[in-house]
Chains A and B, each alone.
Chain A
């Protein structure tokens, strides 16, 4: 056996077994997780008692991101969550209804209707139909009925309405009503006698409302009438409310000018009642209706109207016998925005109004204020948008309320009797872009160092001495902090208490900021060193409802301490990285459309070059033009290389190469090596006989994934991004192109995962069916100690690979091996360490199990011997026998017991310690952790008891002090006695 002094092999051989674990003492301490739901929507958020006999209720919501969750209203902790948008085709917002008095919630999103156990979130039943769900309503049981309550689900299938009554026990279809006309189904409402289907009838832009009455038992049409809206309804959103109190369901809309409200009590054809809307300090901008949903509730409803500066509300009563609507009273006009929510207890209906100053609760019957509480929030969180309230009558005339309100800062606040109980930063959910940011060092130090570097030695020496003398001023402060620092390093953190909220760099480099931009146009700064707490948040651009912010690029300039974020409509914002303060804002629409960005180096410095539509960056001033090749992707998938050529004062991009896959294939993904940080520790790989296989380290490569749905193939092209030439390609047959295909490329290897079947046309026994992970490593030559055709040349060029004109470029020697994995990988990335000496971990996001696994690169090694045991030399190289299946062992799951949902991207950053890489995952949830792929070899673990070390030293010292005189005395005595 030969000895290896190469660190690479040492790391591989000695550390591999110990790397594969998240230690139990590190779990929950090095990682942090923001368990989020998304922003609650007004019509799918409510309090509900899961158990009829118990008073305790839970807060349920189906958020704008399609997450169904139950929140403990006392603590604000999530009881259970279901990620419904994870289902196919669930792009629009869903519906959620509780079944009153039962432990069941029914949700509908996309093409699915599901019933959930309200207490623990387990599926009661679930069915998928064709078409898209438009509304969901709970049937009203006849009084005294003990059957499970049935639900009505309104679907739009091929543009036509399709209403189904589903059995409450198992979701079976009881009856189905198909409306033959091509009217747009809008909503469904029900009372004990009949079921109403409301649809938009007519042409686009001037709809009339069609109400179809059905028999609830048979689902047969009994009546149908049309309401003439006189072109007030243009879109489904214009209809304010359908349904409400089941005793007297109404349909309401406003005229164009928001002057009058028009209401029809469902079932009464041709009877449109107009209710005047009063102005509140200016024209009304927004009207919303609040009405109780219970059958036993009184038939009252509230109209809440907002103007730009104030809001007011009117309460109306419906006379059940005549069907007439009359105004009962109004809630006075108050400045600012406010939220009104309705809650019903038995027959009583309460309206709770929250404004910036107070919370009041009134009964729907009379205008007397039942309870009034001044509002005490810990900090200003924006004005209230909407909320859900639970009202409890304590005694005859004392009430208690708790309201879960969404604010304009996109926090979800629970206000209990006017006092803030908890806050959930739900605005953080739905992150679309994130970047790591270094904490800035004190600016004066940088400036001082610059001054000293520039001046002559003598003056810089004097400057330095002066600086150190000035530094003495902070000495007492430093000495004061010293005991604290000492204690904090030896005592467990639980005793010390949480860290103060100051942003300082630490010597290990764990304290970093993460800048997160969400799809709702907000930016957050998270402190990764302090459990990912929100340091600052700001609204970049207000997004119109239903429109998502398309962040095309984010660039953190650590030296300046600024972050630039570019959006898809030409807007950009520059914020201070540590405080979130806006430095520069350009609103959407002022610049052309941006599809992507590239961080380029130009004569005027680095900047974020916007790439316009179809991969065209357009003309730019000459001094801003980069000299490097820009690689862009066009709208049709074509990959292009661009170079800027000066024409006068401007520089115009010129296409240098194009890459198109063969006919029938479609480019689905293009990735490149990490651009910000990708260090390579060793340029070769040492083999067992101490020869070297040289890695193919070309920085200008991209991996293009092209699929063909027709042939069921996926082809991976490795292209040179300077010349556009194909360096390597691999085709997989029998690939399900609808399954996620994830890939990652770094150093000299690339990995991709796909779902492949046994192909019928080949008799290749190596084929297998299932999710596969394929690793390929590129080397300069297949012969050890050979640096390939380029030999020992110090430079490499893709355009002129050698002195011989028109020579072919040096192609890499690629070794591949594939593995079977248990489930689909939706996203892949790799860990980054400071020097790249530690082995890498491939961070794979598993969407279906809500986990992130870190597979060590040593397992994914294409040189592992197949079908035989490794030789001694191979063993020394760290290779072990190939096993076709990689099991996602619970030990390699970085998220351990946590369930992270909707992860879009995982980003990694190096720490100061070589062993450690910081990992941050975002999407619906936010998750961050630290990983040590080669074990934490340069830092003491938590198991190292510093306290006992110090205690031992002290005990020894005490022992010496005590024993030394005793021993000396004994020795002298010994001399005396022995003689």
Chain B
């Protein structure tokens, strides 16, 4: 008589049907606790949205342009801070100043590379014309940040701007006569 097979071990059961993730808590939130659940936010937003009237396209374009200007001028806002930090960090070769110089070059370059991406979300039929000027300003601002980096590198003496940097390529004069001493 064949006895029924033993019930599969617990791990097999759990492997086949993983236990459901436990619900956070069954205890209700305390009074006054707004909670971070997304569901609530959506509810709020939707409830507000119901109140506000949808903006018109012109309004949206103005808004987008405004936002775009903000993006374009963002790099220049950091410049004073960066300049102060660079000044404070000194011109010696240390890990901090090296990192600063690397960042000073990397950020503008990355910014310039990603010019179009930065303004992609502000692109629309109405803003296209104005956006060109904004982009121009953006590029100028990035170049300004780059110039700061160059200034710093120059301060550190890494730019080959002096005579001594090219000394290795200068050669001694070739004498046209030779004298052989015999003493």
Contacts and interface: CB of A to CB of B under 8 A. Distances in A.
Q: Do A and B come from one complex?
A: yes
A607 to B, nearest CB: 12
Given A686-B167, A794-B174, A796-B173, A598 B181 contact: yes
A632 interface: yes
A368 B175 CA distance: 80
Contacts of B162: 690-691
Contacts of A979: 11
Interface in B60-93: 91-93
A683 B179 contact: no
Given A675-B180, A700-B179, A683 B170 contact: yes
Interface stretch (A2-10, A66-74, A755-763): A2-10
B164 interface: yes
Interface residues of B, number: 27
B168 A682 contact: yes
Contacts of A6: 164, 167
B181 A672 contact: yes
B180 A699 contact: no
B177 interface: yes
A722 interface: yes
Chain B interface main SS type:
loop
Interface string B8-49: 000100000000000000000000000000000000000000
Contact of B157 (A4, A684, A697, A795): A4
A796 B174 contact: yes
A596 B163 contact: no
A611 interface: yes
B175 A683 contact: no
B165 interface: yes
| Residue among B156, B158, B164, B167 with most chain A CB within 10 A | B164
A631 B180 contact: yes
A672 B180 CA distance: 9
Interface string A64-91: 0000000000000000000000000000
Contact of A3 (B158, B168, B175): B158
B178 A683 contact: no
Contacts of A722: 177, 179
| Residue among B92, B175, B181 with most chain A CB within 10 A | B181
A671 B173 CA distance: 22
B18 to A, nearest CB: 14
A2 B157 contact: yes
Contacts of A854: none
B167 A682 contact: yes
B177 to A, nearest CB: 5
B51 interface: no
A680 B181 contact: no
B176 A1 contact: no
A609 B182 contact: yes
Nearest to A702: B181
A686 B179 contact: no
Contact of B178 (A633, A670, A699): A699
Contact of B175 (A641, A687, A700, A702): A700
Given A684-B167, A691-B162, A700 B172 contact: no
A794 B171 contact: yes
A798 interface: yes
A470 to B, nearest CB: 43
A797 B178 CA distance: 10
Interface string B93-104: 100000000000
Contact of B92 (A3, A5, A598, A670): A3
A: interface residue count bin: 35 or more
Interface string A671-685: 110010000101110
Contact of A598 (B157, B164, B175, B180): B180
A858 interface: no
A722 B171 CA distance: 22
Contact of A626 (B93, B168, B173, B180): B180
A682 B168 CA distance: 7
Contacts of A599: 180
B91 A629 contact: no
A690 B165 contact: yes
A628 B179 contact: yes
Given A691-B162, A698-B175, A722-B177, A596 B167 contact: no
Contacts of B179: 628-631, 641, 699-700, 721-722
Nearest to B92: A1
Nearest to B11: A979
A597 interface: yes
A790 interface: yes
A3 B170 CA distance: 21
Interface in A86-102: none
Contact of A691 (B157, B164, B173, B182): B164
A690 B177 contact: no
Contacts of A721: 179, 181
B173 A697 contact: yes
Nearest to A600: B180
A493 B87 CA distance: 55
A310 B182 CA distance: 47
B177 A628 contact: yes
Contact of B173 (A5, A682, A794): A794
A979 to B, nearest CB: 7
A680 B173 CA distance: 12
B176 A690 contact: no
Contacts of B175: 698-700, 795-798
Interface string B139-183: 000000000000000001110001111011011111111111111
Interface in A605-645: 609, 611, 615, 626, 628-633, 641
A373 B162 CA distance: 82
Nearest to A721: B179
B183 A630 contact: no
Contacts of B91: 1-3
Contact of A686 (B92, B156, B164, B176): B164
A356 interface: no
A13 interface: no
A703 to B, nearest CB: 11
The 3 closest A-B pairs by CB, nearest first: A598-B182, A721-B179, A796-B173
20 contacts: A3-B158, A5-B158, A5-B165, A596-B182, A597-B182, A598-B182, A599-B180, A628-B177, A631-B181, A631-B183, A633-B183, A682-B167, A683-B167, A683-B170, A699-B175, A795-B175, A796-B173, A797-B175, A797-B176, A979-B11
Interface of B: 11, 91-93, 156-158, 162-165, 167-168, 170-183
Given A5-B157, A596-B182, 14 more contacts: A3-B156, A599-B180, A626-B180, A630-B179, A641-B179, A670-B181, A675-B180, A682-B167, A690-B162, A697-B172, A697-B173, A721-B181, A794-B171, A795-B176
Interface of A: 1-6, 596-600, 609, 611, 615, 626, 628-633, 641, 670-672, 675, 680, 682-684, 686-687, 690-692, 697-700, 702, 721-722, 784-785, 790, 793-799, 979
